[in-house]
Amino acid sequence: MRSTFVRPSSWKGWLMLVAFISVIVAGIWPVVGWVNQAVLVLGLPKLLVWSYIVLMCCTLVMWLGNMLVGEGEHD
């Protein structure tokens, strides 16, 4: 069985792919290094606030993906 890379077939699928990659990039090393500072934001460490933002963005992107790419479509 030959495996292939599946690409999105519509602009909605490409939009969701870009959004998912953006959220993943926001949660990995270089960006985390930038926000990992001894600064309090609303009484919380800046890194903790950043992680909450990444989690909320991840949830939002998954919700948006379900809304834009319906169950019957193959993106």
Total number of domains constituting the chain: 1
- Domain of residue 65 covers 34-69
Instruction: Tell me whether residue 44 is in a domain.
Output: yes
**What pairs with residue 44 in β-bridges?**
41
What does pLDDT average to over the chain? 85
Does residue 65 sit within a domain? Answer: yes
- Pairwise CA distance, residues 26 & 34, whole Å: 11
> The pTM is what?
0.73
- Write the pLDDT tens digit of every residue in 9-42: 888 888 888 999 999 888 887 888 888 888 888 8
Q: Helices 46-68 & 11-26, crossing angle to 10 degrees? A: 170
Q: Which are the contacts of 16, defined by CB distance < 8 A and separation ≥ 6? A: 8, 61, 64, 65, 68, 69, 75
Q: How would residue 73 be classed by pLDDT, with cut points 50, 70 and 90? A: low
